[in-house]
Chain A
């Protein structure tokens, strides 16, 4: 009995050291990847997409400080993103006129403080309650701001929005931001700092209490914490980081419109965070990257990118509520037990059948789109040229959907069983 107790501190210290090395190593690797990423791509479009991703990642992480960590579902988180962005844009214009001294690299901080100020204002009353009431107030605030944007013309710039020019601001250390590539490094820097800060926040006393209040607000009150105050602190922090993302948006796009703080922008960040997985810190990162990638890729091919992302979102809600990150983390024990090989077969089979069904659904939707738009003749779909005004392609794609769906119904449970078998602890 005494032996394990005596050796425990050393064992714990050893494990802790290994964990620390692994954790710092991970951050270091992330930094290196961020630095090298632009070298790996040639096109300007790729850089532009990466900039968009960086901003989206910060925004989605800040959103998850509310939903995943604090249990607050906000339908108006873009308000703080947008207000931070507008404030940053105005400040950048002032700096450009020489009215104040502020170099571009510090601008995201201005956006962050703007987001923080408004989060403190609206959060003071909206965080009094959790659950559905919080969601409704967030929606009310979002609509309030959308309506206000039509009134405060000077600040929101009406329909055209507020334009700005990052090249007119004073330089810091001679850093110029004329090209997208240069802006990339600015975004990457703030992405790294903000992600680190948000991760650190989740490991502070108030960050932990945010989880506690999410799980059981009543009990949190009986261990000395005001649930309102805990939610308020989280809300302010989330507003701050959303504002940083907004500030980066202002620098990157040099324009902000009321749409950037509208309901659709707030909805998009919910989609990102949820698809990625709100239960894990990396979830929103994955979600924002996947969402932005699909969005930019799909919008090249189809006008219905939001429909596809919406379907992906609903499928996540219904079938994989833990999101991508949750799904991956579920497999950690399997990975550690080196049994991934056993899953390969069932997973590939199910995935292939799912892919067949997806091809069928996409084909049908695209043909609906074609016919509904009143077009005639043929169009390219995947590797085929189809004539949507004839019966055959409809039957063909419908057959794919049916075959895929029936197949998945059959192989899906087998894949789940294989997973359960592989993740069972013990000797293989």
Chain B
């Protein structure tokens, strides 16, 4: 067992991916930033003493405190407080948790749906493939943000208002996931078409391996690289989409604010000079998305130079 782990480790160390990773400062830095953000967001209780959603701990006296380095700033609120006296840092981290959860779930949803359909469409071909690809073509021309808005709009129509706030996060995940799956379907179908025509697939068929096993054991691992690249870039897009929808007021409700909601709430104070309330969530969002995109960009260059 030890021996096997060792060879696996050596294999990783010996791989081109690892080599180009340790030679790429941008890849290392963006990964570090992401690890820090993920850690702080998911273990936010350990990082900050404040719970912005516990009304008893809030005091309106603290409202609109500027960041700590300004003249009126307080050391205990590093990034200042918002209109309800909530600590900005804690609020951002809680918000980022929501944003990340929505982003990851939406991408996962889109990935499973998209790869499932794309893989099977590419493998089986025929009318089924045409049908699936026609849907993705139609949906690709509809911009994702519009798609998500529509889904959300319909959901609002179907679900009653009280229930909607509770369901908002699931609706959001569904809306963003639905708007992103065609990308996965397209890429995985294209990759499947390439793989399907390789002789190892024919060899497996001749041996008598069943279609399902060929698809999942043989083809799926071989198409994962481009899918992962799309997934990474898709994660950044999903986080931005979530923020955008929340900013437009159709995303998660203000009771459990995500980064987008925070920016929208802070936007009202921009003209009265309380810039930090909208500025810090916005910067945090940009850093998050930028790091993911940097990583995705590096992956694209390293894993698969030919992607469209």
| A and B assemble together | no
